[in-house]
Amino acid sequence: MTLFVGLGNPGASYENNRHNIGFKVVDNLIDHYEATDVSKISFYGELHKSNNLLFLKPTTFMNLSGKSIQAVQNFYKVKIDDIIVIHDDLDIPFGAVRFKKGGGNGGHNGLKSIDSMIGVEYIRVRMGIDKPTYKSQVADYVLHDFSKDESDMLDKWIYFVSKACQNITTKSLEEIKSTYSLKSIEKLDI
């Protein structure tokens, strides 16, 4: 079993926030695989399944994402090596994509929650959202919608990251890094 987790916050008011980019990629994967809804209250999230692939959008709000992941991991006996978390990242430019296994949480509350519940050795798909000028603006920045210019490029970016995720189960992490890592969205050619 492979578990793909998109991080975000539930509810229409958060739908297009920068913090919800992980949800958008998982929605794309659910559509691509025509995955079936297998959600249960005990999963604390929306869970879809297609063969041996699971797609999770925690509904616990960002700060408690680990609770949902741990519930699904325990139920389906998913190894930590087979958990892929797709999330926004303030430390890289908008449109950049990085892949890594393990590491720190960079102050990301969703990752802090996951790390405390299941450990750190899962794969991370880091989607750059850039950062505000001042650190005091971070909470407001991640909970705001993408700008008009950013929104115009979202579909292409989400499709690209979804394609990388589709290949992550059959290729090594090093192959994924060399094929799909992006320094900026301008480098995207699809």
Smallest Cα–Cα separation from 100: which of 122, 124, 80, 129? 124
Buried/exposed code over 160-182 (b: 16+ C-beta within 10 A; e: otherwise) = bbbbbbeebeeeeeeebeeebeb
Q: 1 vs 51, 77, 85, 149, 169, CA distance in Å?
A: 9, 8, 14, 37, 10
89 phi/psi in degrees, rounded to 5: -140, 120
Q: Is 48 a catalytic residue?
A: no
Please pick, among 19, 48, 87, 108, the residue that the annotation labels catalytic. Answer: 19
* 91 contacts 57 by C-beta, under 8 angstroms: no
124 phi/psi in degrees, rounded to 5: -115, 130
For the annotated catalytic residues, the residue numbers are 19
